[in-house]
Structure 1
Amino acid sequence: MTSNLVELRPNRRLLDHGFEGYKLNLNSLPQHRFNLQSDVDRLYPDDIQYSFIHAKLFALHNHLVPDLWDHAFNFYYIDKNQQVRNITFENINNTIQQAIVYDVPASEERKSGNFNLCLQFPSSHLAVISDGRGYLHIVDTGTRNKPATEKSQWQTIHSTLALEGKYFVIVDTRVQDTDCKEVLHCLLQSVEQNEKHFNSVLTWITLENEGQGWKQVATRQIQGKGIVHYAAFEVGCTAIYIASDNLFKFTSDSERDIIMPSKEQPRQIIYTWLQTAEDITITLQLENKFNKNLLHVNVTPLTIKVSYAGKDFVNGKLSHKVDSELTTWNVQDNGQVDVLITKAESMLWDGLIEGGDSNGEQIMDATLVEDTHRRLAHLCSETEVTDKSIIALSTQELEECDAASEEDTVLVRLDATHHMVTHRVPLSVHQYLFTQQLEIQQAPALCLRHDVDACIWQPYPQLVNSDSWPIKHHGTLMAFGYVQSSKQNRKFITCPVNFSYAVVSEATRHIFIYKNTPNTDCQLRKRTEGTMKSVKVGQQNVINVEKNGEVLGINATNEYLFVLTQSVFLAIEVQ
């Protein structure tokens, strides 16, 4: 099975080439600051977690977890006592409620190699929690669309040592409901070291509940070198999407045997053919002392068959008609046989046999090649062009953020049934920026740089009875691709689901907010002429969060930007 190449073509209606950039707005945005009742649990990498994969998993871990199944401003984090705390923000009176909803079971003391705790909501009544020590907990949350102080306590309904003692983080979860059972898919990421480098290991575990409790029924493992930018389940859980700099492939599957694709055997050429506009010469080689009586040549206007001692050398339907009565062949003492067939019409053929023939190879006629070069000579020149009116591109005018990525990043669709890559999306010229959940039932969307802009792409399931993998352009953050690349200290990047603004958050000092709404009243003066020109510009707001401590989590909604630090919860009014 060969993979299909998918090209990302932005919707021109969602691009604005007249957008000039962002203008700094010195007006401060309203902020609401609240102290947490208990500090956020934060774990740092230890001496054995020194790879770039570890650094990314720890540094970019978002400790502020939104509940996408609840339309209210409900957020969760895990505190230093290993308790899940709920924060409900009331936007009417700008207050919050805080409450403990769950105590994570204490399996053992923390030790070297552990990860941060993870929390995800695969459905409106379930939560999946990893304790960073190797245990995975399935939790019944009950109804969550209530304020924090009115929620009931969550209950553990299943706990398992998921990866036989390996430590992991949760990448994605998805629930499938059928008439008789509930199926939970969990994608877990761990890190393994071999002799040369560190590998990212994605383990896909499947659990079922038929009314008598949860049990693990399947385990698949996908492995590759280096970091994983993006990984998510397809809606039907028949495939997985992975964006990375290196090839990832299935290494184990408890349900199906992994059949490695057989290597293609080198093509064995048993004859060659050379053509002019009038005729074709077919050449094949037999042994030195051969029996001429065993050589058979049969040419009709549309077919050809050349065989020796029962073995076919050339056999099939010709691409075009020939004059079979003019067919001749010549046999030499060294075993070389030349068959000359005359074309019915003067023309060059694309191939000898209709549909192609792997046993034959075309040899270009030297006179034909020379004639082609002669006819194209006017398009070539051996002298240097000295016309100074042509302005060449100066690489000195390029900035660092304009440089193409040196990493060969690719987004792939891995089919779980055949364990093969079905589709590939090259991302080398589309720098991966961040992930955003646009639709709760779909896979997370990807934000990719497109020239100076940033485009949000939503992958959808592969169409039934089709080789197409639809990836739709949903929105654009104007000039954000260029702007974010200049922020070398960026930690989190995000945007709301309506794409009205984008956010770049540093770890400790500033948060930059870029509002896309263009202001057409802005005017710029052209220095050479002194004339004024109206331009479209957005607004940039800068927020200093240094006094609140390091930013550990962030979430953008259409109206507010929520920020979590070690001991503070911030609600910033953006709109």
Structure 2
Amino acid sequence: MESIKLSVDRSKIDPNFDGYKVSMDNIHFESKKLEQNICLRTPSNSMVTLQHMKVFSSDNQLFCNAIEGSESHEHLYRILETGHIQKMVYDKKTRQWDISIVGNIALKGNETSAFPTNLLFTNKNIVVASNGLSEISVFLAVSGSNWVNMLTHKVTENSGISLIEARIIDEKLNILVYEVENDEKNKKTRSRVHWIVVKLDDIDYAENLSIEKTTEFIQKGHFETCTFSNEGDIVFLSSEKPHVEGHEDASEVTVLDQSWSQAENIITVRFKLAIEIAQEDVKIDLTKTAIKLILKETTILNGKLGGEIDENDVEICADQKENTLILKLKALDEKKWEKLIAIENWKMESLENEEMKKMDKEEQVYGADEPMEECDEADSTLFFYWVHRESGKVISQCDVSGSQVLFVRRDCMKPANFCLRHDVDGLLWSFDGKAPSHVATLQAFGYVQASKTTRLWSGCSPNISLACIVEGNNRVLLYSQKVEISGSLSNRKTAQKVSHVSKQYLLRVDCSDPIRGVHLTETHIFAATKEHIHVAELTL
């Protein structure tokens, strides 16, 4: 399996960033009351796991068709509590709305386990909708005001699904649907991702579409999200490898028990394993002070040892009857070891990185010495996994353990962009190529977001000139990355003249209902509440 590393483009990080200047510009929202309410759902008493909370925390009930939009008009959609899909076209010049109903979905079902509704747009005028219960619907937008339902598919017998992504790849509609389920065997909650492929060959003349195949992935541990690569593979962001339902990854090794002992200068380590292994499954890398032990593709020991060893005197024995692996190391002296692994490898790398940042001032970014907030928790174990479209097996992985996911930005024409925290900044990663590439930096956005304990939504504009955070009290914070200065302006500390500054703008939606949907462009920001649509023009 290929290992991929993230390569930070230092030219896209400003080491001299001096913070956001608070703008006093008067930017306000204009509001329009709508006749019907938006469909809103909240977690029930049975939805108490972290995975349930993630679904609701990422809920955005204002949907945009970017392909349909233009410089003069923005095309937005809501799903109403009646199940009707409402289209709202905003004329940027006249500031007027044109509102109509284009379709509907069935919302009846077990509301106690319902997830929020979803609406995803693709090219070829195909739209995918989810009722948040158990069904998805595929529409053909034959005109701007008429959607034809081409397929209604029951994804699961359970209730509670959420659309992740829909893209047309190789002339087929590929849909990713997510659900949270209880693992009865292990008494834990796990994630199930449904990959649905819909044939489009006969879309021009058939009355209905048909499903070509469905594949279900089981995701144990923490699951963040996933996206399609341009090759049609699926990229998972999670703590553990996903696998196809009924096909456990044979390369995965589970250690049931591990113990070690020392007799004089002989260190003996025993591993009790869940599966049978052979001698050829074992790979070991040694130095006098460190070890990395890999069984098949699973690393079971990795780090700095509790003492020094003779790297040329190592004994490994695999007992296939007992599913046990025994490792014997010879220490250079008989001094008693306090620990087998003095410090794990990922901790060593973290400490080394911190030392490098302190020594290399040229690569140090703004605020690197600022402490992490209590609410600013990073995921201790987190990987990108590339799953092959045909075999369903993991073919590549990228370790991003310790990184915090700030937000995910989706585009119906290409893979999602992931914004990960790097020191205080937010780094935007593109998955257009074989390896992720660092395409932009949101200055100090990781540090800014860490203090927003009532945050409802985070994101950025399509051209990445604006970052945005929406808080629970209907406060909207905009962070302009670069605003050109008219006239002469100098930095007080360095006396250097500057041509641009970064600004922070504070807006507020004057409504008693909380914001439940957001859409941000370079020129406007839209917000949806229960019965209103709000818009502010951004002349920044």
What TM bracket, shorter-length normalisation? Answer: 0.7 to 0.9
Q: Is the 8 A contact 2:110 2:159 kept in 1?
A: no
1:291 corresponds to which residue?
none
1:96 is matched by which residue type in structure 2?
W
2:46 is matched by which residue type in structure 1?
I
2:461 counterpart (496, 515, 521): 496
Q: Is the 8 A contact 2:197 2:211 kept in 1?
A: yes
Q: Is the 8 A contact 1:53 1:226 kept in 2?
A: no
**2:237 paired with 1:243:** yes
C-alpha displacement of 1:366: 7.8
Q: Which has the larger radius of gyration?
A: 1
Q: Is the 8 A contact 1:69 1:124 kept in 2?
A: no
State the alpha-carbon separation in 2 of the partners of residues 364 and 59 from structure 1.
52
Q: 1:557 to 1:94 in 2, by over 3 A?
A: same
State the alpha-carbon separation in 2 of the partners of residues 12 and 81 from structure 1.
50
Q: After superposition, where does 1:23-172 map in structure 2 within 5 Å?
A: 23-72=21-70, 73-105=74-106, 108-143=108-143, 151-172=144-165
1:186 counterpart (157, 166, 175): 175
Structure 1: unaligned runs, 5 residues or longer:
144-150, 270-349, 352-357, 368-390, 462-468
State the alpha-carbon separation in 1 of the partners of residues 115 and 524 from structure 2.
30
Q: 1:192 to 1:110 in 2, by over 3 A?
A: closer
State the alpha-carbon separation in 1 of the partners of residues 123 and 175 from structure 2.
12
Q: Is the 8 A contact 2:218 2:245 kept in 1?
A: no
State the alpha-carbon separation in 1 of the partners of residues 14 and 149 from structure 2.
50
Q: 1:140 to 1:193 in 2, by over 3 A?
A: same
**2:250 paired with 1:260:** yes
State the alpha-carbon separation in 2 of the partners of residues 553 and 365 from structure 1.
61
Q: Is the 8 A contact 1:510 1:546 kept in 2?
A: no
1:7 is matched by which residue type in structure 2?
K
1:414 corresponds to which residue?
387
1:452 corresponds to which residue?
424
**2:532 paired with 1:564:** no
1:544 counterpart (508, 518, 521): 508
State the alpha-carbon separation in 2 of the partners of residues 509 and 165 from structure 1.
34
State the alpha-carbon separation in 1 of the partners of residues 281 and 221 from structure 2.
38
**2:199 paired with 1:215:** no
CA deviations 1:541-562 (Å, max 9, x no partner) are 1112253521111111111111
1:437 corresponds to which residue?
410
Aligned residue pair count: 433
C-alpha displacement of 1:518: 5.0
The share of aligned pairs that are identical, in percent, is 20
Q: 1:159 to 1:98 in 2, by over 3 A?
A: same
**2:194 paired with 1:203:** yes
1:318 corresponds to which residue?
none
C-alpha displacement of 1:164: 3.5
Q: Is the 8 A contact 1:410 1:428 kept in 2?
A: yes
State the alpha-carbon separation in 2 of the partners of residues 364 and 40 from structure 1.
68
State the alpha-carbon separation in 2 of the partners of residues 209 and 479 from structure 1.
44
Q: After superposition, where does 1:352-367 map in structure 2 within 5 Å?
A: none
1:46 is matched by which residue type in structure 2?
S
CA deviations 1:183-229 (Å, max 9, x no partner) are 22211101101353211111112222442432223221112234432
Q: 1:524 to 1:401 in 2, by over 3 A?
A: farther
1:413 is matched by which residue type in structure 2?
W
Structure 2: unaligned runs, 5 residues or longer:
253-275, 283-310, 319-326, 334-357, 360-368
State the alpha-carbon separation in 2 of the partners of residues 404 and 192 from structure 1.
25
C-alpha displacement of 1:400: 2.6
C-alpha displacement of 1:113: 1.3
C-alpha displacement of 1:362: 13
SS across alignment from 2:142: coil
Q: 1:448 to 1:119 in 2, by over 3 A?
A: same
C-alpha displacement of 1:539: 0.9
State the alpha-carbon separation in 1 of the partners of residues 19 and 482 from structure 2.
11
CA deviations 1:5-64 (Å, max 9, x no partner) are 222122233222222110111222143222222111101122222222212212321101
State the alpha-carbon separation in 2 of the partners of residues 52 and 364 from structure 1.
44
State the alpha-carbon separation in 1 of the partners of residues 405 and 281 from structure 2.
43
CA deviations 1:49-107 (Å, max 9, x no partner) are 2222212212321101110221331011101111100111111111211111112246x
CA deviations 1:509-559 (Å, max 9, x no partner) are 311111111567665656xxxx96767741111112253521111111111
State the alpha-carbon separation in 1 of the partners of residues 141 and 101 from structure 2.
12
1:428 corresponds to which residue?
401
Q: 1:533 to 1:266 in 2, by over 3 A?
A: same
Q: Is the 8 A contact 1:501 1:513 kept in 2?
A: yes
SS across alignment from 1:54: helix
SS across alignment from 2:149: strand
2:179 is matched by which residue type in structure 1?
S
- State TM-score, norm by structure 1: 0.68
Q: Is the 8 A contact 2:249 2:393 kept in 1?
A: no
Q: 1:200 to 1:532 in 2, by over 3 A?
A: same
SS across alignment from 2:449: helix
CA deviations 1:426-465 (Å, max 9, x no partner) are 2234321111235x4211111111222211111025xxxx
1:117 is matched by which residue type in structure 2?
T
State the alpha-carbon separation in 2 of the partners of residues 446 and 405 from structure 1.
15
State the alpha-carbon separation in 1 of the partners of residues 399 and 19 from structure 2.
28
Q: Is the 8 A contact 1:220 1:250 kept in 2?
A: no
SS across alignment from 1:248: coil
Q: 1:475 to 1:365 in 2, by over 3 A?
A: closer
Q: Is the 8 A contact 1:523 1:532 kept in 2?
A: yes
CA RMSD between the two structures: 3.4
State the alpha-carbon separation in 2 of the partners of residues 415 and 545 from structure 1.
45
Q: Is the 8 A contact 1:235 1:441 kept in 2?
A: no
Q: 1:169 to 1:404 in 2, by over 3 A?
A: closer
Q: Is the 8 A contact 1:5 1:424 kept in 2?
A: yes
2:506 is matched by which residue type in structure 1?
V
SS across alignment from 1:19: coil
2:475 corresponds to which residue?
510
State the alpha-carbon separation in 1 of the partners of residues 248 and 182 from structure 2.
23
